[in-house]
Amino acid sequence: MSWLVGVGNQFIKAAMRAPYLERDEEHGLAVRWKEQRDQVALHKLAEAHIRLVISIAGRFKNYGLPATDLIQEGHIGLLEAAARFDPSREVRFSTYATWWIRAAIQDYVLRNWSIVRGGTSSAQKALFFNLRRMRARLLDKPGQGSTVEVFNAIANTLGVSPGDVEWMNQRLSGGDVSLNAQVGGDSESEGSERLDFMVDASPRADQLVEEGTDQAYHHACLQRALACLNPRELVIVQQRRLEENGETLETLGVQLGISKERVRQIEVRALEKLRQSMIAQGVHTL
């Protein structure tokens, strides 16, 4: 019971001293709570099942979370079970409450085990809570194949993809690491944090603004330069230079009723006009 370190001794002793309820007594308390909202009946019903909460919470002790929090969440699940329990059904309260206690603790573990939320679907939750046990059982079997085969077997059993199994296995293999954690033992990295070695390759905000402003300026200058061309020059430049899949000289020659050599000459003249106009506007590249 070493995992219960931090849980008050009086609480544990009180839970262990609580009397077990006979079926008829349990049923009577449940009826009093459901029909009369008798707080004394609820207290006795919950008190008698605290040891059940502690037992179920113990199954989650390996996730590194405080025992007090696990038990507290389990107690919330116990009270939720009491609120929903129908004593008219031939079911023991402990059987019904077990599901709610476990669900409350599982939800707490998923929310707090890592800052990265995982296990959002029922299949992912099953993978999170069963992967270690299934992996150990399969690897212990004689003649078991590779890790890939083990992951495939787990994926087929739980209805997830092998990639999900591999990802969850990596998550369970190591906890969260702070970006402010100290790294390195040599003189060069001594005193450095993990954050110091994380470089963002994306442009800075001021660079993005500057590039956007430059692009807008160049676009405006180009539009003014295009206005200097005659209609035939404009058609050739637009279809040869400004479209993603430019037309060939031959195609434009047929379209305009001239030879492809004449198209090339007009294109050269038009590009020179554009270059001179851009230079006059202070733009030296085209």
CATH of the domain at 229: 1.10.10.10
Identify which of 126-135, 163-172, 242-251 has the greatest average pLDDT: 242-251
Instruction: Say which residue, 49 or 159, is predicted with more confidence.
Output: 49
Our CA dihedral for 26, 30, 32, 35, rounded to 10 degrees, sits at: -160
Can you tell me the distance from the alpha carbon of 171 to that of 169, in angstroms, rounded to the nearest whole number? 5
- In the chain, the percentage of residues whose pLDDT exceeds 70 is 80
56 and 103 share one domain: yes
159 and 69 share one domain: no
Q: What are the structure tokens assigned to 128, written together? A: 């999170």
Q: What's the predicted TM-score (pTM) here?
A: 0.53
Within a domain: residue 182?
Answer: no
Domain of residue 15, CATH code: 1.20.120.1810
Within a domain: residue 194?
Answer: no
14 and 106 share one domain: yes
9-39 as b/e: b if 16+ CB within 10 A = eeebeebeeeeebeeeebbbbbebbbeeeee
Dihedral sign of CA atoms 179, 181, 184, 186 in order: positive
86 and 15 share one domain: yes
- In the chain, the percentage of residues whose pLDDT exceeds 90 is 22
Q: Are 266 and 229 in contact (CB under 8 A)?
A: no
Within a domain: residue 195?
Answer: no
Q: What is the mean pLDDT of residues 188-201?
A: 66
59 and 130 share one domain: no
148 and 85 share one domain: no
46 and 86 share one domain: yes
Within a domain: residue 202?
Answer: no
pLDDT score at 241: 85
103 and 149 share one domain: no
108 and 126 share one domain: no
Q: Which residues contact 259 (CB under 8 A, 6 or more apart)?
A: 253
Within a domain: residue 18?
Answer: yes
Within a domain: residue 240?
Answer: yes
Say which amino acid occupies 39: Q
97 and 10 share one domain: yes
pLDDT in tens, 81-129: 999 999 998 889 999 999 999 999 988 888 887 655 555 567 767 777 7
Give the pLDDT band of residue 138 (cuts 50, 70, 90).
confident
Q: What is the mean pLDDT of residues 207-233?
A: 85
Q: Are 234 and 227 in contact (CB under 8 A)?
A: no
Q: Which segments of 96-250 are extended strands (E)?
A: 182-183, 192-193
Within a domain: residue 106?
Answer: yes
11 and 42 share one domain: yes
Q: Of 112, 141, 160, which residue is a domain's last?
A: 112
Instruction: Say which residue, 236 or 189, is predicted with more confidence.
Output: 236
Alpha helices in 141-204, H assignment, sequence order:
147-158, 162-173
Q: What is the mean pLDDT of residues 265-285?
A: 85
Domain encompassing residue 271: 211-280
Q: What are the structure tokens assigned to 161, written together? A: 């993809």
Within a domain: residue 188?
Answer: no
The SS3 of residue 193 is strand
Total domains present in the chain: 3
Dihedral sign of CA atoms 165, 167, 170, 172 in order: negative
Residue-averaged pLDDT of the chain = 81
pLDDT of 197 above 90: no
Instruction: Say which residue, 45 or 184, is predicted with more confidence.
Output: 45
Q: Which segments of 190-263 are extended strands (E)?
A: 192-193
79 and 128 share one domain: no
